[in-house]
Structure 1
Amino acid sequence: MKLFSLLVTLLLLAAGTATAATGAPHAHTRAGVVRGSSADGVDSFLGIPYAAPPTGDLRWRPPAPPVPWTGVRDATAYGNRCPAVASTNGPRSETEDCLYLNVQRPSGAKKLPVFVWIHGGGLRNGSSNQHDGSLLARRDVVVVTINYRLGVFGFLAHPGLTAEAGRSGNYGFLDQQAALRWVRDNIAAFGGDPHQVTLGGESAGGFSTCAHLASPASRGLFQQAIIQSGACPSTPLGTAEQSGTAVAQSLGCQDIACLRALPAARLVDVDAAPTLVSGVPELPRPPDSVVRAGEFTRVPLLIGANRDEGRTFALGFVGATREQYESWVLTNYSAAALARYPWPERSDRFTAAYLIGAIMTDSGTVGGIGGCATRSLVRSFTHYTPTYAYQLDHRTGPGLSPEPAGYVWGAGHAAELAYLWPSFDNGTPIAPTFDAAERQLSRDMVRYWTSFIRTGDPGWATYPGSTFSLRAGGTSVPIPDRQFSAEHQCGFWG
C-alpha cells in the first residue's frame, strides 16, 4: 500500500512538472492535479470537483468525496450549474453533476488568507459562475466560490428520508460544509492559509453563513464571517417534512425510491420554497435562537444590508393605484403603518412600488433582510463578538434588471454585488456602466472587504454606536445609530 501511494505521488508530481513547463498554473489537490489559467496577475482554477456527483442513489444523501483522477485535470472553465429553472440568476439547468468550486489567487500566492463565498438566489437558483473574484484576489486574498444543490434537490425534507438516514433536508447546506472541508484540506496547495478562512455570502448565502455560525459541524472550518443582506431563518424538521410530503404527492410518489427514479427535469419544475431545516444533526437548533443565546461560533463578523432592499421585491407593484396601495398596507400591516408611509401629494406610476419597497426594507418583511431587522441581528451578534455593521447607501447605481423602464432601483437587494464581483448579473459585466464615483466605490468596497478578510478589521469602528455608510466617490462615512433608526423608522418597527 505504501509503495502504491508513493507511485501515485510520483505520478502527480510528474504531471505537475509537465504542467508547469507549459507556463499554466497548477495545483495538487487530494483527488488529483489541476491546471488553471492566468490573466492580469490572477490565477484561476475553475470547475474543481469537491464532491462526487449527487446522482442516482446519491440524490438526497450527504455529499460523497470526489472521485480521484489521474493525469492533469483541466480547470479553465466553470463547472455545471446546479439544477434550477431559468431566472435572472442564470439559465435553466437540469444537470445534477454540479458540485464544483473555483479558486482564484494572486499569481505566486503563498499562505494568504482565504475567502469562501456562498452565492445567493433564495436557495432556488444562482451559481458560483456569477462571481469573478479577481478584484478581491488582486488584494492578496485567495477566493473560493462554490456551487451547492438548490431547490428540491438541495432542501427536500421527507419522513422517508429521515427514516433512511436520521436526517433530511439541508443537502445543499451539507454541500457547503463539504466545500469548507475541501478548503481545509486542499487550499494550501493554492497558496491559501487553511487557518485564516473567512466565510461569506449574500441573501441565501447570508442565511447559510448564519447557519454555519450555529452549526456544530461547521465549527473550526472558518475564522471570520461576512453576512450580506442575510438573516438566520430556518424551518423545524416536522414542518419541512409536511411540505416535502406534499411535494412527493404532487409528483405521484409515495416513497423515496419513486422520487429518486424521477428525471431531474421533473424535479426542477417543482414549485416549493426551499428552506434550511433545524432539528437535525447539522442544525440541532434554529440558527436565530442560537445567535440570540450567544451560543454560535464567536468569530469577528461583518454584517450589513442595502438602503432599499425592498425595492427589488416591490417591482410587481409598479403601476398600482393609491387605493391598491392603501388596501395592501391595511391588509398586510396596519393603519398605523399607513400613517407612517402615506401616499404623497405628487405621485407617478412608481410611487406604490417605492412606498411598498420602503415598508419591506424598514420592517425586514422579506426574509428578515434590511432596515431594522438587520440592525436587530447586528445587535444580537455584537453582544458576544466584534461586529462591524455597514449599509450600502449609493442609491443611483445600475440595477440588476432594466425593467420596467424608468424604475429607480436604488440600493436594492443584491445591488452591492456588482462592486465586489465584476461579472455579477449572470456573468454580464456591470462595472463598465459605472461612472467615476461608482468605480471609486468599488475600489473602496474591495479594500474594506479584503482588509476584513486579512485582518478582521474593515477599517471602521465596531458596532454599537454607528453603521458604516458606503457611498460613491470616496465619501463613505459612519452614521450614528439614531440616524439609521430614523431613516428606517425603527422606533415604529422595533
Structure 2
Amino acid sequence: LFLNIWAPDQAKDLPVLLYIHGGAFTGGCGHEKHFDGPVWPEKGVIAVTINYRLGPLGFACLPELEREAGHTGNYGLYDQLAAIRWIRENIRAFGGDPENITVMGQSAGAMSVQQLCLSPLTKGLIAKAVMSSGGGVGEQLGKTGRAEEMYGYWQEVMKTAGCETLESLRSLSPEELFRAWDVVNQDHKGMGLTCTPCIDGRLIPRSGAEAIQSGKFLDIPYMAGSTSDDIVPPVVFRMAKGWCRLQADQGRHPSYTWFFDRQLPGDDEGAWHSSDLWYWFGTLDNCWRPFTEKDRDLSREMTDYLTNFAKTGDPNGAGLPQWLPQQKGQNRVMRLGEKPTHMGGVNIAKLNQTMLTSHAAGE
C-alpha cells in the first residue's frame, strides 16, 4: 500500500481529493495515465491516488481466515480505509486539511466509495464523496453477499494451488496464487465478479439495501454519474441518479448527478466506460487522442466543478453554468457534453439501444 500525493508549493489547510481506481477489483493501479499529474493542485486541492490489494489478495474469503481474525474478505477495502486514516493523520505535513477529505472512485473504485460510505468504520473520516460509473441504488453490477457464500469458491482456489492450510497458502508467491485463481475463475465464468466486497460483519456489517433502508450511511454531499456508452448504460445511470435522488428524498445533504456524453475524438466508440476520467483529472495531454479546444474547455469546467465540490460540497462557482442539486419530486441532471447544460432526464430507451448494439457487436 502506498500513496501518490500532489500538492502545490506552500499549501496550507487545503481540501484533499482521494481517488480510488477501478478495474473490477482485479486490475488497475494508482498511477495510470488518466490520473498521472492531475490539475487539481493548480485549483487549490491536494490530489491523492492509491494502490490497494486486488484479486485473491484483496478479496479471498475463507473460513480459516474468519476463525483467525473474526472476519474475512474485503482486504482491498481495508487498504483503502487505511489510506484514509493515514491521510487524516499525516496530510497536514503536505498542507492539507484532514477534516476536508473527499473520496472519489470510478467503476470498482466507485463501488468501493459507496461501501466505505455505508460502513460504520468511516464515520467522521469522509467529508464528501464522488462516484463515477459504479455504485448507487441497486446492486445489479455486483450484489454484496455474505462472506460465507464465497467459501466454496475460494476453497477450490486453495485446493487448485495445492494448499491444505493457511500456512501453505501464505507460502505461495503472488504469481502462484494468481495462477490458481485464474484456473478456477475460468471454470466459473458465469459467476460474474468473483473478487468483490462482501458482508463481513465488520467493515460491511449489512447489505447496502439494509443500510439504505435504515439510513445508516454517511450524510454528506455526493456527486454521482456515468457515461452514455458505459457498461450496461441504463443500469449504471439509474443507480447513480437513484443515489442522488435518495439523498434528496431523505432530506440529506445536496447531491449532484451528471451524465457525460462527449464523443472522444479519434474513433467512433462514443463516451465509453472511464472516458470521462481524462476530463475530470485535466490530463488530456497524457492521451494520444486529437483533443480540440472544446474538449479542453469541457475539461476546465469539469475540473472546476470537481475541485469546487471538494472545497465546499457545492460544484458551482464563478463563470460556470449552474449545476442544480437533485430535489425531491424533480429530475435534475447535468449533461457534460460539448458544454455543460442541464437536462430534465436521460433517454433510457436510447441507453438500452446502446447496450443492445454493443452486445450485438460483441463488445
Q: TM-score range by the shorter chain?
A: 0.7 to 0.9
CA contact (8 A) 2:133 2:237 kept: no
Q: Aligned equivalents of 2:100 and 2:293: distance in 1?
A: 34
Q: Secondary structure at the match of 1:309?
A: coil
CA contact (8 A) 1:308 1:361 kept: yes
Residue 122 (structure 1) aligned to one of 24, 28, 32:
24
Letter in 2 for 1:257: E
Residue 265 to residue 423, structure 1, CA distance change in 2 (3 Å): farther
Q: CA deviation at 1:280?
A: 2.3
Q: Aligned equivalents of 1:150 and 1:161: distance in 2?
A: 17
Which residue is 1:228 aligned to? 132
CA contact (8 A) 1:155 1:274 kept: yes
CA contact (8 A) 1:294 1:381 kept: no
Q: Secondary structure at the match of 2:66?
A: helix
Residue 389 (structure 1) aligned to one of 257, 275, 291:
257
Q: CA deviation at 1:145?
A: 0.8
Alignment deviations for residues 195-225 of structure 1 (CA, whole Å, 9 cap, x no partner):
0111111011100000011111111111110
Which residue is 1:264 aligned to? 174
Residue 417 (structure 1) aligned to one of 277, 284, 299:
277
Letter in 2 for 1:256: L
Q: Structure 1: give runs of 5+ residues left out of the alignment.
A: 1-98, 311-359, 365-369, 400-405
CA contact (8 A) 1:291 1:381 kept: no
Q: Aligned equivalents of 2:109 and 2:166: distance in 1?
A: 28
Letter in 2 for 1:478: H
Residue 296 (structure 1) aligned to one of 217, 223, 226:
217
The answer to whether residue 187 in structure 2 is matched with residue 277 in structure 1 is: no
Residue 304 (structure 2) aligned to one of 447, 453, 465:
447
CA contact (8 A) 1:112 1:140 kept: yes
Letter in 2 for 1:107: D
Alignment deviations for residues 328-366 of structure 1 (CA, whole Å, 9 cap, x no partner):
xxxxxxxxxxxxxxxxxxxxxxxxxxxxxxxx322x2xx
CA contact (8 A) 1:214 1:290 kept: yes
Alignment deviations for residues 400-435 of structure 1 (CA, whole Å, 9 cap, x no partner):
xxxxxx6x22111101011123558xxx91176311
Which residue is 1:178 aligned to? 82
CA contact (8 A) 1:169 1:277 kept: yes
Which residue is 1:144 aligned to? 48
For the pair shown, which has the larger CA radius of gyration, 1 or 2?
1
What are the equivalent positions in structure 2 for 1:190-339 lying under 5 Å apart? 190-231=94-135, 233-269=143-179, 270-271=181-182, 272=185, 273-310=194-231
CA contact (8 A) 1:397 1:410 kept: yes
Q: Aligned equivalents of 1:250 and 1:113: distance in 2?
A: 47
Which residue is 1:375 aligned to? 241
Q: CA deviation at 1:486?
A: 5.6
Q: Secondary structure at the match of 2:324?
A: coil
Letter in 2 for 1:480: G
CA contact (8 A) 1:371 1:488 kept: no
More moved, 276-285 vs 157-166: 276-285
Q: Aligned equivalents of 2:332 and 2:158: distance in 1?
A: 48
Letter in 2 for 1:180: I
Q: Secondary structure at the match of 1:114?
A: strand
What RMSD over aligned residues (CA atoms) do the two structures have, in Å?
Answer: 2.0
Residue 233 (structure 2) aligned to one of 350, 357, 361:
361
Q: CA deviation at 1:240?
A: 2.1
Q: Aligned equivalents of 2:344 and 2:213: distance in 1?
A: 23
Q: Secondary structure at the match of 2:286?
A: coil
Alignment deviations for residues 32-55 of structure 1 (CA, whole Å, 9 cap, x no partner):
xxxxxxxxxxxxxxxxxxxxxxxx
CA contact (8 A) 2:229 2:351 kept: no
Q: Aligned equivalents of 1:467 and 1:487: distance in 2?
A: 16
Residue 107 to residue 288, structure 1, CA distance change in 2 (3 Å): farther
Q: CA deviation at 1:241?
A: 2.0
Letter in 2 for 1:169: G
CA contact (8 A) 2:225 2:259 kept: yes
Q: CA deviation at 1:381?
A: 3.4
CA contact (8 A) 1:279 1:286 kept: no
Q: Aligned equivalents of 1:412 and 1:109: distance in 2?
A: 35
More moved, 428-437 vs 411-420: 428-437
Q: CA deviation at 1:151?
A: 0.5
Which residue is 1:167 aligned to? 71
Alignment deviations for residues 216-256 of structure 1 (CA, whole Å, 9 cap, x no partner):
11111111100111116422111122221121122122221
Q: CA deviation at 1:382?
A: 3.1
Which residue is 1:187 aligned to? 91
CA contact (8 A) 2:39 2:283 kept: no
Alignment deviations for residues 93-124 of structure 1 (CA, whole Å, 9 cap, x no partner):
xxxxxx11011012211101110111111111
Q: Aligned equivalents of 1:115 and 1:463: distance in 2?
A: 22
Alignment deviations for residues 154-183 of structure 1 (CA, whole Å, 9 cap, x no partner):
111101101111111111100111100100
Letter in 1 for 2:151: E
Q: CA deviation at 1:488?
A: 4.1
Q: Structure 2: give runs of 5+ residues left out of the alignment.
A: 137-142, 186-193, 317-322, 354-363
CA contact (8 A) 1:393 1:469 kept: yes
Q: CA deviation at 1:292?
A: 4.1
Q: Secondary structure at the match of 2:333?
A: strand
Residue 58 (structure 2) aligned to one of 154, 161, 169:
154
Q: Aligned equivalents of 1:160 and 1:145: distance in 2?
A: 32
Q: CA deviation at 1:279?
A: 3.3
Q: Aligned equivalents of 2:168 and 2:18: distance in 1?
A: 36
Q: Aligned equivalents of 2:237 and 2:13: distance in 1?
A: 38
CA contact (8 A) 2:222 2:244 kept: no
Q: Aligned equivalents of 1:292 and 1:377: distance in 2?
A: 12
CA contact (8 A) 2:282 2:303 kept: no
